Chains A and B, each alone.
Chain A
């Protein structure tokens, strides 16, 4: 079983739609939860991070973490064609044996926002 599960999509929505992206995980030791965005032929770039449970908002983006359900979400409001990319969730277990801050990624969801 993968530590982090993420539906690869693709997900296609019209411009202006609200997008919901989700990941589930199995390791209850994960404390930091990240969302990365990756454009084609580029490296992942950090969008948002959340520590433990709760919500975090940044402009059109909202990240939610529900540790009791081992479930995280990223919401994109008023989606734009420029949001078309692959969105990757990633997690860190800071108290793992190595404590390196290594990222555990989901497979990524490909999003297309159509004009």
Chain B
């Protein structure tokens, strides 16, 4: 069974440009999470989808970030316009159900560098 996949693995863009990250969760997982790790900091929650609905977007830094999950399958996270402080590793995770012991399976992450 394929795990969580993310594309691209690495993206280097200039400040002010737009970048779109993609996450394909494990098939059948209704719950999809986005997390981010900025250099030297802990991994932080960004938002949570249940199918196509945003359940919790309390971790989104600002309105330059837009996440979508049309059709409840894959998800995209767009950063527009990108700023230097957006650099970091963006992780996607999926689970069958939220909370409790339903394990969140993580993708390998997308390393974003904003110059």
Give residues in A with beta carbon < 8 Å to B: 2, 4, 6, 32, 36, 41-46, 49, 51, 88, 92, 94, 98-108
Contacts and interface: CB of A to CB of B under 8 A. Distances in A.
Contact-residue bracket for chain B: 20 to 34
Contacts, number: 71
24 contacts: A2-B42, A6-B42, A32-B101, A43-B4, A43-B106, A43-B108, A46-B104, A49-B101, A92-B99, A94-B99, A99-B99, A100-B55, A101-B48, A101-B99, A101-B100, A102-B45, A102-B56, A103-B33, A103-B35, A103-B43, A103-B104, A105-B42, A105-B43, A106-B42
Nearest to A90: B43
**Main DSSP-derived SS at the A contact region:** loop
Interface string B55-66: 110110000000
B42 A102 contact: no
